[in-house]
A and B are shown apart, each in its own frame.
Chain A
Amino acid sequence: MMSIERIMLDPSRIDRGNYTLTLAAEALRCGTCTDEQHMALQNDIFTCLAGQISRYTGGESTSVENRTAVKLMGSILYNTDLALLLMPMTRAVQRLFAGDFEALHAEGMQINRQYTLKAHARLREAKRGRIRTMCVYYNELLNKTLRQLIHSNDIRFDAKRNVTWVDYTMPTVNRKVCGIGGILHMLDELITENAFVNSFDPQELSDLQNRFVKELASPTGERINLGQLCFEQAILSMLAGREKPGILLNEDEVRTLTGLGLSGDECYYAAMQVVHRLGGRAPEKYLTRLLELSRASFAAVFSGGEAAIRRYAGII
């Protein structure tokens, strides 16, 4: 195997969602490992799978149905991904071809176990700082769905939960969850959103939700993200002239916004100038993501004139 200094991997060819196999493929491509080493790694993975099959069947069968084998293999690779992702890439390559794949898998399961405990702690934190809302999807996510997802994370046999969908739309994760990493990501974003939304005046928040009660309280209503809603209302309030951002636009502010005569893109660029005033309520990365997602909404609203702005603010 090449020395560390000579390992020249192309990170763009490596998929963090499929780290073990793409890292191995890239190592083979750039000559970091030989064909024999690559084949030996695959054989180690199959040996690990054979052990998992035996454990899964309680020693009662040496064969399983195809879909079970795919699930077990996915779980093995998800756990080794977790272990390898914590190392620098060059170290990860060395470790992958060191011939101790079982030990790497065991490390990955240990990390998975730690992440699961962390997820439980994050869920408790999210519940403590929850938004008081009638949003059906948000409440279901916090009261039921997340707990089920964490409990269903089988560290050994089903660590990679392929594309589980939740009903509450969120800016970065959208609605997709994959594995314990995906669950942690979702929880982190939920905690950030809770802090952001709860940083506004509670009365304004309550009144804003009353304006959108039909959408929030109905399971068949539009899927609204509370953080996105508050962000857009806050941006518009600042564009309308408020020094301190608020989330409940009034009639005068609607008329002011109409009078600005901004196009969607102009509104977006104007928002970029004021978004920093929301700093302190949420991390910059989160606010940047909300700003990107609001571009389409602003374009739709400002192309529709006063009536569209009025509807957007929830003032019928």
Chain B
Amino acid sequence: MNELTLLNRIFNLSESACMFDAKQLYALNDITSRRGLTLTREQAVEVAKTRSQALYENERVEIGVGATDKIIRTFSSSSYANARNWAEIVLEIVERFYFIKSEVHDAISDNELIDFMYHTFENVCGGALEMLADETEELIRHLNAGGSVDIEAEIDLSLKIDTVFLLDSIAAPSERAAVYNKLSDCYFDIKKQIGGTMNDYAILGGMYQEYLSCGGTLDGQSAERVMKLLKGDPQE
């Protein structure tokens, strides 16, 4: 036996290993049940098996259920999670998590990735798991191109955009991600040109005025017009 054969015990999707992991995940109900979210024993086993399968397919090794534990604890705070969809959310997030970790070759830490996925799920995608897949593909491309992710800044901006625009009131759930991306692209265009001289809320306030005057939308020239507005130039 050498280290490879020994590690095969972990690589192996053995029933007993999954049952042990399932027990640990089931125990997290003590915490998540406060929000009405629980996994049945069968669902806990399914999550454990999905985790094992995801590790195997993405050629990763993990001792214990560390990351899955963090995922469950974090996503139990989601306003879009309920008793009916809780298992589905956990399964999808766990599978996606290990996929991303391998695709970006560990360029992002566990906590940063879980925070990013939570923030995107909660504030960008409005709880839509299908949209989360697109957003995380974008993250993979960004990180593999050498980019980095400042999670706190991302969260901060999304909260500010939501505060000013009240995204739930201006976009249907299926359009929320697209509207958010358009607004944040416009924000970054303006920010790049205007530099650090202007407060974020001032920029977003200007964008909101432009949004209203364009009948509830932003076009390709909106950033220019907002810049003129913010600089005090008379509008045409």
Contacting residues, chain B, for A68 (C-beta < 8 A): 61
- Which one of B2, B4, B11, B110 lies within 8 Å of A61 (CB-CB)? B110
Contacting residues, chain B, for A25 (C-beta < 8 A): 1
Is A49 part of the contact surface with B, judged by Cβ < 8 Å?
Answer: yes
Q: Which of B66-98 contact A (CB under 8 A)?
A: 66-67, 98
Q: Which of A58-94 contact B (CB under 8 A)?
A: 60-66, 68-70, 73-74, 77
Q: A61-B110, A62-B110, A65-B102 are in contact. Are A73 and B59 (CB under 8 A)?
A: no
Contacting residues, chain A, for B11 (C-beta < 8 A): 66
Q: Would A45 and B6 count as touching, CB distance under 8 A?
A: yes
Q: Would B111 and A70 count as touching, CB distance under 8 A?
A: no
Is B23 part of the contact surface with A, judged by Cβ < 8 Å?
Answer: no
**Size band of the interface chain B makes with A:** 20 to 34
Q: Would A21 and B6 count as touching, CB distance under 8 A?
A: yes
| Complex: A6 Cα to B1 Cα, angstroms | 25
Q: Would B101 and A63 count as touching, CB distance under 8 A?
A: yes
Total residues of chain A contacting the partner, CB 8 A: 25
- Which one of B3, B10, B62 lies within 8 Å of A62 (CB-CB)? B62
Contacting residues, chain B, for A63 (C-beta < 8 A): 55, 60-62, 66-67, 98, 101, 110
Residue in chain A with minimal CB distance to B106: A61
Q: Would A66 and B64 count as touching, CB distance under 8 A?
A: no
Is A174 part of the contact surface with B, judged by Cβ < 8 Å?
Answer: no
| Complex: A77 Cα to B2 Cα, angstroms | 9
Q: Would A62 and B1 count as touching, CB distance under 8 A?
A: no
Secondary structure of the B side of the interface?
helix
| Complex: A50 Cα to B1 Cα, angstroms | 20
Is B63 part of the contact surface with A, judged by Cβ < 8 Å?
Answer: yes
Contacting residues, chain A, for B59 (C-beta < 8 A): 65-66
Q: Would A73 and B60 count as touching, CB distance under 8 A?
A: no
Q: Would A60 and B109 count as touching, CB distance under 8 A?
A: yes
Give min CB distance, B145 to chain A, whole Å. 20
- Which one of A50, A60, A64, A74 lies within 8 Å of B60 (CB-CB)? A64
Residue in chain B with minimal CB distance to A63: B62
Is A46 part of the contact surface with B, judged by Cβ < 8 Å?
Answer: yes
Contacting residues, chain A, for B63 (C-beta < 8 A): 46-47, 49-50, 53, 62
| Complex: A77 Cα to B4 Cα, angstroms | 12
Q: Would A73 and B111 count as touching, CB distance under 8 A?
A: no
Contacting residues, chain A, for B106 (C-beta < 8 A): 57, 61, 64-65
Q: Which of A192-237 contact B (CB under 8 A)?
A: none
Q: A65-B102, A65-B106, A70-B3 are in contact. Are A60 and B111 (CB under 8 A)?
A: yes
| Complex: A73 Cα to B98 Cα, angstroms | 21
Is A18 part of the contact surface with B, judged by Cβ < 8 Å?
Answer: yes
Contacting residues, chain A, for B3 (C-beta < 8 A): 21, 70, 73-74, 77
A21, A42, A61: residue with the most chain B Cβ atoms closer than 10 Å: A61
Contacting residues, chain B, for A65 (C-beta < 8 A): 59-61, 102, 105-106
Contacting residues, chain B, for A258 (C-beta < 8 A): none
Is A263 part of the contact surface with B, judged by Cβ < 8 Å?
Answer: no
| Complex: A62 Cα to B51 Cα, angstroms | 13
Contacting residues, chain A, for B4 (C-beta < 8 A): 70
B66, B102, B111: residue with the most chain A Cβ atoms closer than 10 Å: B66
Q: Would A62 and B67 count as touching, CB distance under 8 A?
A: yes
Q: A64-B61, A65-B105, A66-B60 are in contact. Are A42 and B66 (CB under 8 A)?
A: no
Is A22 part of the contact surface with B, judged by Cβ < 8 Å?
Answer: yes
Is B7 part of the contact surface with A, judged by Cβ < 8 Å?
Answer: yes
Q: Which of B151-206 contact A (CB under 8 A)?
A: none
Chain A positions 34 through 59: 1 when the CB is less than 8 Å from some CB of chain B, otherwise 0: 00000000100111011001000100
Residue in chain A with minimal CB distance to B109: A60
Q: Would B101 and A61 count as touching, CB distance under 8 A?
A: yes
Is B9 part of the contact surface with A, judged by Cβ < 8 Å?
Answer: yes
Q: A70-B4, A70-B7 are in contact. Are A50 and B110 (CB under 8 A)?
A: no
Q: Which of B104-126 contact A (CB under 8 A)?
A: 105-106, 109-111
| Complex: A240 Cα to B105 Cα, angstroms | 66
Q: Would B6 and A22 count as touching, CB distance under 8 A?
A: no
Give min CB distance, B200 to chain A, whole Å. 29
Q: A63-B61, A63-B101, A65-B106 are in contact. Are A73 and B55 (CB under 8 A)?
A: no
Q: Would B105 and A50 count as touching, CB distance under 8 A?
A: no
8 contacts between A and B (CB under 8 A): A25-B1, A50-B63, A57-B106, A60-B111, A61-B101, A65-B106, A73-B3, A73-B6
With contacts A42-B9, A62-B64 known, what are 10 further pairs, Cβ within 8 A? A18-B2, A22-B1, A47-B63, A61-B109, A61-B110, A63-B110, A64-B60, A65-B59, A65-B106, A69-B10
